[in-house]
Amino acid sequence: MYGRIVLSTVILCAALAGRLAFLPNVAHAAPAVGVCKLSISGDDMMRFDQTELKVSKDCPEVEVTLTHTGKLAAQVMGHNWVLMKTADLAGVATDGLGAGLPNDYIKPGDARVIAHTKVIGGGQSTAVRFALSKLTAGESYSFLCTYPGHSAFMKGVFKIT
Ligand code: ZN
């Protein structure tokens, strides 16, 4: 009899613990509402599907998901998504050339890079999240793919609205 009570208590406690463990998860997920999600894709034709990305100034955090809709490997047709001031675009692209694939074609420690994803190949997807506080209202921002030869075609403007 006593054993049975202990057993039911254990089960009850486990059920409660399960519930309690569930509640903090919900609370923890709540701030994700403040993350504004953007998506962009690149293909085997060296193109992004968008030349302009917009985000509200009220977004505390931005998450950009890059999808490679092509079939070619990262070594042949790699794409990344790199954000910087428009004024820094050429410098980031040029310095990224020599950085190589292991550095995602971004000069290590490049302070001009505000956010970037890794280089991905066909069929892959990757994301980067950053605080919008890293950007200044009124400044002009651009994004590009720093894979060699791509930046002339794969670029666009990043607007805060
Ligand atoms: Zn590319």
Q: How far is the CA of 28 from the centre of ligand 1 (A)?
A: 35
What is the tens place of the pLDDT at every residue in 113-124? 999 999 999 999
Q: How far is the CA of 44 from the centre of ligand 1 (A)?
A: 9
Indicate the pairing of strand 82-85 with strand 115-116.
antiparallel
The one-digit pLDDT tens for each residue of the chain (161 residues) are 454 544 444 444 444 444 444 444 444 444 446 899 999 999 999 999 999 999 999 999 999 999 999 999 999 999 999 999 999 999 999 999 999 999 999 999 999 999 999 999 999 999 999 999 999 989 999 999 999 999 999 999 999 99
> What is d(CA 14, CA 31) in angstroms, rounded to the nearest whole number?
28
Tokens of 105: 């074609």
Q: How far is the CA of 37 from the centre of ligand 1 (A)?
A: 21
**Is 22 inside a domain boundary?**
no
Q: How many domains does the chain have?
A: 1
Average pLDDT, the chain: 86
**Is 17 inside a domain boundary?**
no
Residue 46 burial class via C-beta count within 10 angstroms: exposed 0-12, middle 13-18, buried 19 and up: middle
All residues with CB under 5 Å from ion ligand 1? 79, 145, 147, 150, 154
Could you list the residue range(s) of the whole structural domain that residue 103 is in?
33-160
Read off the pTM: 0.80
User: Which pLDDT does position 111 carry in this prediction?
Assistant: 98
CATH of the domain at 119: 2.60.40.420
Q: How far is the CA of 42 from the centre of ligand 1 (A)?
A: 7
**Is 66 inside a domain boundary?**
yes
What is the side-by-side order of every strand in the sheet holding 35-42?
Answer: 35-42, 61-68, 125-131
